[in-house]
């Protein structure tokens, strides 16, 4: 991370491991005062940290399905003249989908956009897919999904940000 002091870098990676730890605990771990940690954390919260969250156990929360959806936008609506309106409509639709965790433009596999979502079960996914086709179908050529069973034994490494901190 360019432009950050060494202590900032260390704070970020410690928070990735456990954002719940106090400034005092963090200071002890990094060998600096609580006041230094508090001051640096406030600066980082303004400049870099978008928020604090936790990573739930999806299965225990009642989610069975993790979906990675790839979308191919119709070339006719991706024109320079229509782009802003189409983008705004897509953004508004996405922001009203609480099960979508992340979405954006993408490149590769002939697709233009992606989203990552969780669903209680296949029926919920199927209903979301049907509504997507109804509400956004005039903009979309194709949608392809990769579905992951969150209840199975095949999730070998669960989604968590702490793994990023282990690269340091």
pLDDT at site 1: 46
The rounded distance, in Å, linking the Cα atoms of 27 and 54 is: 22
* Number of folded domains that form the chain: 2
Residue with the two structure tokens 């990675």: 68
Average pLDDT over residues 150-162: 85
> What CATH number corresponds to the domain at position 124?
3.30.70.1060
> What CATH number corresponds to the domain at position 25?
1.10.10
Domain boundaries, position 37: 6-47
Q: Where are the alpha helices (DSSP H) in 18-119?
A: 23-30, 34-47, 83-95
pLDDT tens track for 36-77: 999 999 999 999 999 888 888 888 899 999 999 999 999 888
The rounded distance, in Å, linking the Cα atoms of 64 and 66 is: 7
Same domain for 129 and 79, yes or no, is: yes
Same domain for 75 and 42, yes or no, is: no
Prediction pTM value: 0.81
Q: Looking at the domain assignment, is residue 114 inside a domain?
A: yes
Mean predicted lDDT score pLDDT of the chain: 91
């Amino acid at each position: 991370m360019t432009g950050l002091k060494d202590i900032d870098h260390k704070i970020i990676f410690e928070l990735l491991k456990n954002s719940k730890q106090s400034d005092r605990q963090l200071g002890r771990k990094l060998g600096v005062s609580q006041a230094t940690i508090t001051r640096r954390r406030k600066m980082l919260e303004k400049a870099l940290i978008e928020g604090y969250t936790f990573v739930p156990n999806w299965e225990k929360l009642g989610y069975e399905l993790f979906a990675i959806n790839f979308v191919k936008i119709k070339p006719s609506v991706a024109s320079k003249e229509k782009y802003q309106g189409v983008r705004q409509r897509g953004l508004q639709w996405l922001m009203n989908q609480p099960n979508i965790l992340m979405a954006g433009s993408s490149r590769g596999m002939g697709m233009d956009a992606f989203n990552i979502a969780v669903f209680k079960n296949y029926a919920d996914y199927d209903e979301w897919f049907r509504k997507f086709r109804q509400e956004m179908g005039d903009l979309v050529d194709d949608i392809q999904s990769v579905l992951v069973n969150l209840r199975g034994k095949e999730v070998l490494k669960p989604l968590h940000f702490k793994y990023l901190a282990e690269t340091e």
